[in-house]
Every structure is written in structure tokens, then in C-alpha cells.
DNA sequence: CGGGTTCATGCTAGTCACTGTCATTTGGAA
DNA sequence: TTCCAAATGACAGTGACTAGCATGAACCCG
């Protein structure tokens, strides 16, 4: 992220859990979806091929055969071409569906395994590509904080919901923060050793959290 | 953060704990320090007065009576005009100086109170100004992730050091992540209620962590 | 106290992300 | 077909940031 006066923006993240997208019957809808996918697809390809900074939005536009204006209409910033996660909603639903007697962290772990276990190989590869890009490009890494903060808020609500506490309960928020923090820690460690299993490391880290983070237990 | 091809950057953060800056005897050195301070000072002032996005680097340069090039020479990006923390080193030293028998989280809490208790009112105000700016301006918030990741690494080392474990111990890293995560959670909550006591909230959140984050203990 | 070197600074001329506006096209409904 | 609204493109900025070069002040040596 550099040049830019992006101030009046704020990641949108469609408010909350999207209603699984309408059937998208209209031709218009389908065309839009196709355009959107095409743009992002070519963007990711170019970014991995020649680097994020080295790729201009104009090139992306050209590759997707649209005008630069259109690219910006679909993705408010260059960052957004990478920072779009479709798994969050699924994760949230998965957490909600865990049995109520599970402790928050356990529920999260279970949901994680469930969601990533069910995802098809192609999409998973896409997720990994995106993750690698995000974690290795400083600007993207930086741009992710807002999403993480968003995640903390979601998690707080979910935890509070399960525990029958007010939605902004400080204890729930602290726990949510810890979960996300553990996430970050695992992810940053992964950058240093990409050959490791990210999901596995995350799970292990959450296991520590589950046990209260007592160092001597390990 | 917007316009920009910042890629070849990477927050510097002088590697590790800086050696408390040499006496800076030379005239040149002193002049440089003065210029630097002046630039940052006027930047913070203008940012709070008229907003971050609404203030151009050119204005900052003009206010500090230097050329725009010079501003960029001192602060590689506009963000850096705000994102410079001098307290981190002090915090690290404070943690190191805590009695070895204290648990990591407790040591961190103690260090926090110690550092922020000793800081003079003027500087504290400065810190608060900066914190407010960072937390309320999306671009700055985003740019902070790298610093947070850096902090996790530091904390991991410190925790491992105290526990006599390898510097990259996963359990230590998970704990460090949780601590920083709790930090973020407290900070984001604070944005919504600026009248609250940030330090107090942080301390409370860390207290939860200390107790293993059991929701029912509260 | 000269004389050369070093280094901070300014200037000029880009590059590129992003924004706003307006005219044109195109899908969709009557 | 006929009209409306949304999607797109072309165009003209703004402003962050970079690279290269010239200058003058500060430092170093003798």
C-alpha cells in the first residue's frame, strides 16, 4: 500500500453473514459474477507470476479485458483483489452448529477442521495461494488488520452467544482476541517455514490455548 | 494507505533494542535530530487538526520548513509519521527486569504498569494522541499489523528466555500471540468507548488471560 | 586556516493508485 | 419495440512516492 488517499473507505465485508447469495438468475447478475471472477483470477495469476508491486492495475484490467475503472468498481483497492475471503461465513456457521456444551476454543477448533476438511482441493489451493501472497507482501499483511479486528468482533459475539453473556462481554472479547492472536502467531511462524502445515500448526496453537496456555503443560 | 507502490520497504524498527542512541555529539547529528522531531511534531499536529487523509505531505513539509523530499527521507511513508513508537524498547527492558519467578503474563502486566507509570505526562499525552490517530484512521490501523507481528516475535523470545525454552518454542509463540491478541481486542473496544481507560482495560484483559481465559471465573 | 570529501537537502521529472464526471452501451421489464 | 437503470469506458485530475542530479554546509585532514 502506498500512494494513495484511501481514507474514506473501510473494508466493507458485507456487514454480516451474507445470505448465501441469491440464485443470481438474471443474465446481468451472472455476467457481473463472471467479470468479477475473471478480474480476480487474472489478478492473482499476475501477482504470483510477476509480483504484487510489479503488477499494475492497468495490467490486470487488460488481462481481464475490462477498463481500469471497472476493476476499481469491483475492487475498491488493489489490496482487495487479494484480500477477499469467502470462508469466513462458512466458519461462522460451522461454529454456530457446534454442540453447545463444547467450550469456545474447542468449538472453534472443531469448526475449523470441519470447514477446511470439506473444502475441495481446488479452492484450498486458491486459499493457500492467497495466504502466501498476503503473508509475504508487507502491504497486504498490513491491510489485513482490519479484517482481523472484524474477526475478533465476530468471535466475541459468537462466544458471548454460547456463554449466554452480553455481546460485548469483556471476558469474551479477551478470549476472542487471544484466539485471533494465536492465529496471527501461527501464521507468522508459517511464513518462516512454508513447508509446515499451516492448519496443523493453527490447531496445535489452539490446543495450547484450550489448556490455558500453561507453558509447563506442553 | 492508498496510492503507492511501497513494496520494497518493510518497516525497519531498527532490528532490535536500540543501544539508547549515541550522545549525538556532532552538529550534524543534532541538526538531524531536530529536523526529524520538527517534521514529526508538525505532522501530528496537522493530522489531529485537519485529519490524516486531508493533510498532504507537502503541507507537513511546508509547516516544518523543509522540502517534501526531505520528509520522505526521514519517514519513508506518510504512515511512519505516526507509527513511531519509542516505548517498545523500554517495555522490553522492563519485562526483562521482572523477577524470574513471575509468570509471563504477570511479568508483562507488571512491566506495563511500571513503564506507563513512570512516563511523564507530556509524553503520555503524545502517546495517547498517537494511539487515537492510529486506532481511528483505518490506513494507520492496517499499517500496524507488521508492528504487532514484530511484537509477537519479541514477546516470544522474552517468554522463551524466561522459561528456558528455545527461542521459537511454539507454546511460547502461542502465548505471545494470545497476549498481543488480547491487546488488540482491548484496543478495538476502546475505539468504541474512548472515554474508558485504555491502560486499565488492557490490564483487565491481561488478568483474564492470566487466569486462563475461563469465562466462568470472571 | 585551506582543501577535499561527505552528506543533508532541494529540485525536476516521472510512475502509479485512486477519484469524479460524463457519455455510451446493454440487460431487463413493460 | 421502448424506456429505465445499471454497467462500462474515456478523460482529467490529485497526491504518495521514487530516481537522479546539483548545491552548499559540515566534517576531516594536514
Is the CB of residue B35 inside 7 Å of nucleic acid strand C? yes
pLDDT of residue B72 exceeding 80: yes
pLDDT digit string (tens) for A108-117?
999 999 988 8
Q: Which nucleotide is nearest to A32 (CA to C1')?
A: D7
| CB–CB contact A184 B138 (8 Å) | no
Closest residue (CA) to C1' of nucleotide D16 is A3
Give the model's pLDDT for residue B13.
43
| CB–CB contact B213 A209 (8 Å) | yes
| CB–CB contact B180 A183 (8 Å) | no
Band of pLDDT at residue B99, cut at 50, 70 and 90: very high
Q: Which of A119-128, B58-67, B161-170 has the lowest mean pLDDT?
A: A119-128
pLDDT of residue B28 exceeding 80: no
pLDDT of residue B48 exceeding 90: yes
Give the model's pLDDT for residue A215.
56
**Residue-range domain boundaries for chain B:** 27-76, 87-210
Band of pLDDT at residue A22, cut at 50, 70 and 90: very low
pLDDT of residue B64 exceeding 70: yes
Q: Which of A62-76, A84-98, B103-117, B174-188 has the lowest mean pLDDT?
A: A84-98
Q: How far is the CA of B73 from the C1' of C23 (A)?
A: 44
Give the model's pLDDT for residue A144.
86
Give the model's pLDDT for residue A136.
85
Band of pLDDT at residue A16, cut at 50, 70 and 90: very low
Which position has the higher pLDDT, A152 or A126? Answer: A152
Q: Which of B11, B102, B169, B171 to mutate to test the interface with A (most CBs of A within 10 A)?
A: B171
Band of pLDDT at residue A25, cut at 50, 70 and 90: low
pLDDT digit string (tens) for A27-47?
667 888 889 989 998 999 999
B104 and B173 in contact (C-beta within 8 Å)?
Answer: no
> Which of B77, B159, B182 shows the shortest C-beta gap to A181?
B182
Query: Scanning every residue of chain B, which has its alpha carbon at the shortest distance from the alpha carbon of A144?
Result: B142
pLDDT of residue A123 exceeding 90: no
> What average pLDDT does the structure give for chain B?
83
In CATH, A87-210 is 3.20.20.10: no
**What is residue B54's three-state secondary structure?**
coil
- Chain A residue numbers touching B107 (CB-CB < 8 A): none
pLDDT digit string (tens) for A201-211?
899 999 999 88
- Chain B residue numbers touching A165 (CB-CB < 8 A): 215
Q: Which of B20-29, B80-89, B150-159 has the highest mean pLDDT?
A: B150-159
How is residue A199 written as a grid cell?
A: 492448519
Kindly report the nearest CA distance between residue B93 and chain A, in angstroms.
Answer: 22
Query: Scanning every residue of chain B, which has its alpha carbon at the shortest distance from the alpha carbon of A9?
Result: B138
Give the model's pLDDT for residue A2.
53
Give the model's pLDDT for residue A4.
52
HSE at residue A13, side-chain half, CA atoms within 13 A, is: 19
pLDDT of residue A212 exceeding 80: no
| CB–CB contact A7 B139 (8 Å) | yes
Closest CA to A198 of A211, A212, A210, A184: A184
Which CA distances in Å does A167 have to A119, A170, A176, B145, B180?
30, 9, 12, 25, 22
Give the model's pLDDT for residue A195.
82
pLDDT of residue A18 exceeding 50: no
Give the model's pLDDT for residue B218.
39
CATH number, span B27-76: 1.10.10.60
Q: Which protein residues have their Cβ less than 7 angstroms from some atom of strand D?
A: A 2-5, 28, 31-32, 35, 65-67, 69-70, 73-74; B 1-6, 8-9, 26-29, 31, 55-58, 68-69, 72, 76-79
- Chain A residue numbers touching B11 (CB-CB < 8 A): 138
pLDDT of residue A90 exceeding 50: yes
What's the mean pLDDT in B50-68? 95
pLDDT digit string (tens) for A70-83?
999 999 999 999 98
Q: How far is the CA of A120 from the C1' of C7 (A)?
A: 58
Closest CA to A92 of A22, A159, A149, A167: A159
- Chain B residue numbers touching A51 (CB-CB < 8 A): 7
pLDDT of residue A63 exceeding 90: yes
Q: How far is the CA of A84 from the C1' of D15 (A)?
A: 27
pLDDT of residue A175 exceeding 80: yes
Kindly report the nearest CA distance between residue A110 and chain B, in angstroms.
Answer: 18
Percent of chain A with pLDDT over 70: 83
Give the model's pLDDT for residue B207.
92
Give the model's pLDDT for residue B212.
77
- Chain B residue numbers touching A212 (CB-CB < 8 A): 212-214
Is the CB of residue B7 inside 7 Å of nucleic acid strand C? no
Which position has the higher pLDDT, B68 or B13? Answer: B68
Give the model's pLDDT for residue A132.
85
| CB–CB contact B181 A186 (8 Å) | no
Q: Which of A155, A185, A207 to mutate to test the interface with B (most CBs of B within 10 A)?
A: A185
Q: Which of A4-13, B13-22, B144-153 has the lowest mean pLDDT?
A: B13-22
Amino acid at each position: 500500500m502506498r500512494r494513495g488517499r484511501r481514507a474514506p473507505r473501510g473494508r466493507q465485508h458485507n456487514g454480516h453473514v451474507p445470505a448465501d447469495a441469491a440464485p443470481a438468475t438474471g443474465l446481468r447478475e451472472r455476467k457481473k459474477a463472471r467479470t468479477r471472477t475473471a478480474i480476480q483470477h487474472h489478478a492473482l495469476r499476475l501477482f504470483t507470476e510477476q509480483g504484487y508491486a510489479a503488477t499494475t492495475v492497468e495490467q490486470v484490467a487488460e488481462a481481464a479485458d475490462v477498463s481500469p475503472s471497472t476493476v476499481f468498481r469491483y475492487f475498491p483497492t488493489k489490496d482487495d483483489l487479494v484480500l477477499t475471503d469467502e470462508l469466513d461465513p462458512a466458519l461462522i456457521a460451522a461454529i454456530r452448529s457446534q454442540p453447545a456444551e463444547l467450550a469456545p476454543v474447542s468449538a472453534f477448533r472443531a469448526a475449523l477442521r470441519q470447514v477446511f476438511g470439506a473444502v475441495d482441493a481446488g479452492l484450498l489451493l486458491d486459499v493457500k495461494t492467497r495466504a502466501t501472497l498476503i503473508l509475504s507482501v508487507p502491504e497486504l499483511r498490513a491491510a489485513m488488520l482490519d479484517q482481523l479486528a472484524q474477526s475478533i468482533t465476530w468471535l466475541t459475539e459468537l462466544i458471548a452467544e454460547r456463554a449466554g453473556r452480553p455481546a460485548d462481554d469483556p471476558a469474551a472479547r479477551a478470549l476472542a482476541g487471544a484466539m485471533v492472536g494465536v492465529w496471527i502467531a501461527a501464521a507468522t511462524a508459517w511464513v518462516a517455514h512454508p513447508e509446515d502445515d499451516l492448519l496443523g500448526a493453527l490447531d496445535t496453537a489452539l490446543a495450547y490455548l484450550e489448556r490455558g496456555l500453561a507453558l509447563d503443560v506442553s
